[in-house]
């Protein structure tokens, strides 16, 4: 039986979800939901599914088995809890929530209702990154020494002006780190292990926005390794992100989506991709994460990125922000 998915929120990222649903065997797009009543017909035409008149009406549909939350981040927690209580599985865009309390409420609600909760941190679904993590876990790099994530992106002022919630603390949860950098921070955390202490600074240097457009942090990992994080949305014209992991025997560099190993011929410069435009990401990642999520529902197992892992990355982002605000070293909760 085909799983019926609904997309809540019809902004840019909803297109990636719609494409992923259509490309995944055994799933179909049953409905969408848009808050702006005047633009519901437009949403139906663009995404190719009926648009419900309200979120409550969408959750009442018997043909909806799971919801993809593509709404502003500040709405995720309440919408996820509501969906769980309606018996719907939940696949939520990053960040899963803006506070650890809200993340916990989502995890608890889904567990109580017996539905799956997955978070769209899609780089964990990349086979090359999974192979890299397996090699690190097997000790092929030796003792962990250094982990670095660099996110030199560009988002113009028009990006932040396109929606009132963008770049705000209340609905976006932050700026360059919470919205863009969290993907690479999550990848670094997944490869290197938990962070025991973070010291950070942030600033708003090139945009008219409430939250930060530039952030740096030094990290101490629980395994003793050191690390650093730098993220911005003010690096013109936008550059590919990098994640670097070094050990006592070897190291790995990721530029864009390409993995570079010692002794291998260096590839041509990676395209800026998402570094230059929010539409620069490949749809492959969303397709992989949705395919896994649908399989998790059918097989009654945890998805590749469950709520607990989404909370883990959120905790580190919040620790970076707390350190930047207070000027003190912070231990992620």
Over range 289-318, report the average pLDDT: 98
Query: Does position 266 have pLDDT exceeding 70, yes or no?
Result: no
> How many angstroms separate the Cα of 214 from the Cα of each of 38, 264, 288, 321?
36, 33, 30, 12
Sign (positive/negative) of CA torsion 72, 74, 78, 80? Answer: positive
Over range 189-203, report the average pLDDT: 98
Share of the chain above pLDDT 70, in %: 98
Q: Which two tokens stand for residue 217?
A: 């942090």
**pLDDT for the residue 156:** 97
> Are 288 and 182 found together in one domain?
no
* 270 domain-assigned: yes
pLDDT band of 280, cuts 50, 70, 90: confident
pLDDT band of 139, cuts 50, 70, 90: very high
Domain limits at 99? 3-120+284-305
Alpha-carbon distance 174 to 177, whole Å? Answer: 7
pLDDT digits (tens, 9 = 90+) for 254-265: 999 899 988 776
> Are 8 and 31 found together in one domain?
yes
Over range 290-316, report the average pLDDT: 98
pLDDT digits (tens, 9 = 90+) for 14-47: 999 999 999 999 999 999 998 777 788 888 888 9
In the chain, how many domains are there? 2
Q: Which helix (H) or strand (E) holds 177?
A: none
* 196 domain-assigned: yes
Mean pLDDT of the chain: 95
CATH number at residue 257: 3.30.360.10
Query: Does position 267 have pLDDT exceeding 70, yes or no?
Result: no
> Are 56 and 92 found together in one domain?
yes
* 331 domain-assigned: no
> Are 41 and 130 found together in one domain?
no
pLDDT band of 186, cuts 50, 70, 90: very high
Write out the DSSP string of 20-38. Answer: HHHHSTTEEEEEEE-S-GG
The residue with greater pLDDT, 297 or 47, is 297
pLDDT digits (tens, 9 = 90+) for 198-257: 999 999 999 999 999 999 999 999 999 999 999 999 999 999 999 999 999 999 999 998
* 213 domain-assigned: yes
Burial class (CB in 10 A: 0-12, 13-18, 19+), 112: exposed
* 142 domain-assigned: yes
> Are 203 and 296 found together in one domain?
no
């Amino acid at each position: 039986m085909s799983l019926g998915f609904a997309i809540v929120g019809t902004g840019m990222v909803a297109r990636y979800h719609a494409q992923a649903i259509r490309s995944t065997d055994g799933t179909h797009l049953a409905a969408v939901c848009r808050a702006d009543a005047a633009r519901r017909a437009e949403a139906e035409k663009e995404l190719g599914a009926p648009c419900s008149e309200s979120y409550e009406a969408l959750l009442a549909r018997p043909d909806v088995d799971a919801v993809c939350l593509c709404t502003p981040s500040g709405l995720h927690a309440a919408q996820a809890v509501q969906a769980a209580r309606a018996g719907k599985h939940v696949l939520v865009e990053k960040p899963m929530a803006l506070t650890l309390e809200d993340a916990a409420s989502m995890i608890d609600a889904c567990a109580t209702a017996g539905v799956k909760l997955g978070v769209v941190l899609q780089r964990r679904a990349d086979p090359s990154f999974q192979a890299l993590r397996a090699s690190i876990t097997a000790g092929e790099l030796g003792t962990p020494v250094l982990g670095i994530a660099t996110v030199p992106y560009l988002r113009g002022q028009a990006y932040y002006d396109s929606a009132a919630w963008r770049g705000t603390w209340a609905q976006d949860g932050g700026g360059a780190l919470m919205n863009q950098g969290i993907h690479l921070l999550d990848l670094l955390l997944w490869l290197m292990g938990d962070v025991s202490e973070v010291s950070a600074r942030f600033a708003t240097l090139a945009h008219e926005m409430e939250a930060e457009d530039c952030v740096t942090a030094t990290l101490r990992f629980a395994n003793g390794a050191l690390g650093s994080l730098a993220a911005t949305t003010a690096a013109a014209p936008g550059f590919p992100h990098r994640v670097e992991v070094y050990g006592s025997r070897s190291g790995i560099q990721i530029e864009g989506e390409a993995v570079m190993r010692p002794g291998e011929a260096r590839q041509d410069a990676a395209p800026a991709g998402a570094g230059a435009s929010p539409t620069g990401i490949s749809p492959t990642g969303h397709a992989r994460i949705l395919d896994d999520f649908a399989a998790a529902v059918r097989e009654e197992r945890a998805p590749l990125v469950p709520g607990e892992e989404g909370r883990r990355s959120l905790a580190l982002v919040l620790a970076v922000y707390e350190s930047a605000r207070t000027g003190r070293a912070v231990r992620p909760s």
